[in-house]
Amino acid sequence: MVKSKRPLISINPLNGETLKTFHEMTPDELDKAIGRADNAFVEWSKRSFSERATILKRAGQLFEERADELAKLMAQEMGKKVNDGLGELALCAEIFAYYAEEGEKILAPQHLSTREGEGTLVFQPLGVVYGIQPWNFPFYQPSRFTAANLIAGNVVLTKHASNVPQCAEAFEQLLFDAGVPKGVYTNLPITSAGAAPIIDDDRVKGISFTGSNAAGAKVAEQAGRNVKKTVMELGGVDPFIVLEDADMDLTVERFVEGKLGNCGQICLAAKRIILTEPIADEFLGRVTKLFEQLKPGDPLEDTTDYGPLCTEKAAEQLEEQVSESVKAGAHLLVGGKRNGAFVEPGILTDIPAGSPAAEEELFGPIACVWVVKDEKAAIEMANDSRFGLGGSVYTKDHERGQRVAEKLECGTAFVNHVASSYASMPMGGVKKSGYGRELGELGIKEFVNQKLIRHFN
């Protein structure tokens, strides 16, 4: 047996303490895990929806029962504030409950009556599907992929981010405790270098990836060579458009929520703040004052305003992006300084084209602000991006909000609320933010064979 060479190390970003070390699977162990999953599919796919739903319901209940301990684990392993973690776990519980309750109805055979005759559309599981998951939502990200596929009759392999191995292990154990058979769900403790061969394996039928554009492009290219279905949720620089008739109290509240939730480490976070001229000074004055009052601290403490980023390396990268943007001519109104893995919430204005703040995704608590003349200019600014994940617009006029939201080039648009995820509603992106959908009715149909059965008399 080939020995593993690279450990997966769980490190507390608050203080750099090593919490636990995991050994990477060997190639032989990985091959056997895929084989167990392939074999497990035969029995799992034959189970009734009712049987599978019972297990999913129990998993949802366990997320509720274990919320405190799992939130603490996230705080220690990737720096998420406990309250943010509890919110994530509540969403996990809802996702499992939703698919347990709605999966059979969504995937029920559909009778087709067309101008060319009668038919039936049936939805059949594909087999072994493979999810490559990021660290920023260690339980939500695998939940949205796993719950949909398990109720559909697929079996799931997961390569989780290397910096959250304890969360990955806890997720797998929760599913086993809920009654998911071994092989139906498998956590693969492997590094990125060890993940690629799984895509080439003929026993694996589909791949879902959430992460950076560069890594996603490589996964999609490899999957394409193997003619395998993929879903990609990649980067985002979501616009947060504030029109002159916005409710300022609500808008500022939503901004803080959308910028500082999970310390800004969210694909759907408010990243490009686009202000119309009449309200720009008031908005910037209010949020600058709020940011000046924020205090860092232990994410386990209720009094903490913001915790560390996921790793010190991530904080260093964000610091460099801010520094290079300032050198290029951007103005740092407040914050932006780094201390270890902590980065002060900050606001950049007067951002020049070509700078990191204008061209890249700043994954952290730094708001990039543009001031424009009017609604038309705001929409143009919002769409002037290679990304298209989410976006939001703030106005007291419902019809105006609907009109602007429809014009945004993104997969998820919100009016008077930051872009968010819901178990029953689909999410995903366009342009360089990816393709395919997760959650809701669309999410469950990504990795099933939508087979036509044609009827003749």
Q: What is the DSSP letter of 411?
A: S
Q: What is the DSSP letter of 351?
A: P
Between the CA atoms of 32, 37, 42 and 46, what dihedral angle is there, to the nearest 10 degrees?
160
pLDDT value, residue 6? 75
Please name the residues in contact with 153: beta carbons below 8 A apart, sequence gap of 6 or more.
41, 44, 45, 47, 52, 124, 125
**For residues 183 and 201, what is the distance between their CA atoms, to the nearest angstrom?**
16
- Residue 283: CB atoms within 10 A of its CB come to 21
| Of residues 280, 281, 212, 289, the one with CA closest to residue 240 | 280
| Of residues 199, 194, 28, the one with CA closest to residue 128 | 199
Tell me the pTM. Answer: 0.96
- Cβ(433)–Cβ(389) under 8 Å? yes
Local structure of 130: helix, strand or coil:
strand
Dihedrals phi, psi of 315, to nearest 5 degrees:
-65, -40
Residue numbers annotated as active site: 233, 267
**For residues 10 and 19, what is the distance between their CA atoms, to the nearest angstrom?**
5
pLDDT value, residue 5? 59
Strand 366-372 and strand 272-276: the pairing is: parallel
For residue 121, give both structure tokens. 């559309």
Please name the residues in contact with 154: beta carbons below 8 A apart, sequence gap of 6 or more.
41, 45, 125, 126, 127, 128, 129, 447, 448
- Residue 389: CB atoms within 10 A of its CB come to 28
Range 26-33 contact pairs with CB under 8 angstroms and sequence separation of 24 or more: 26/1, 26/2, 27/2, 27/194, 27/197, 28/1, 28/2, 29/1, 30/188, 30/190, 30/194, 30/197, 30/198, 33/157, 33/186, 33/188
Amino acid code (one letter) for 40:
A
DSSP letter string over 421-452? -BTTB-B---GGGEES-BSHHHHHTTTEEEEE
**Dmax (CA) of the chain:** 75
Q: In the β-sheet with 117-125, what is the strand arrangement from edge to edge? A: 110-114, 117-125, 448-455
Local structure of 245: helix, strand or coil:
coil
- Cβ(271)–Cβ(315) under 8 Å? no
Local structure of 328: helix, strand or coil:
coil
pLDDT tens for the chain, residues 1 to 457: 344 457 899 999 999 999 999 999 999 999 999 999 999 999 999 999 999 999 999 999 999 999 999 999 999 999 999 999 999 999 999 999 999 999 999 999 999 999 999 999 999 999 999 999 999 999 999 999 999 999 999 999 999 999 999 999 999 999 999 999 999 999 999 998 888 899 999 999 999 999 999 999 999 999 999 999 999 999 899 999 999 999 999 999 999 999 999 999 999 999 999 999 999 999 999 999 999 999 999 999 999 999 999 999 999 999 999 999 999 999 999 999 999 999 999 999 999 999 999 999 999 999 999 999 999 999 999 999 999 999 999 999 999 999 999 999 999 999 999 999 999 999 999 999 999 999 999 999 999 999 999 988 7
**For residues 181 and 92, what is the distance between their CA atoms, to the nearest angstrom?**
20
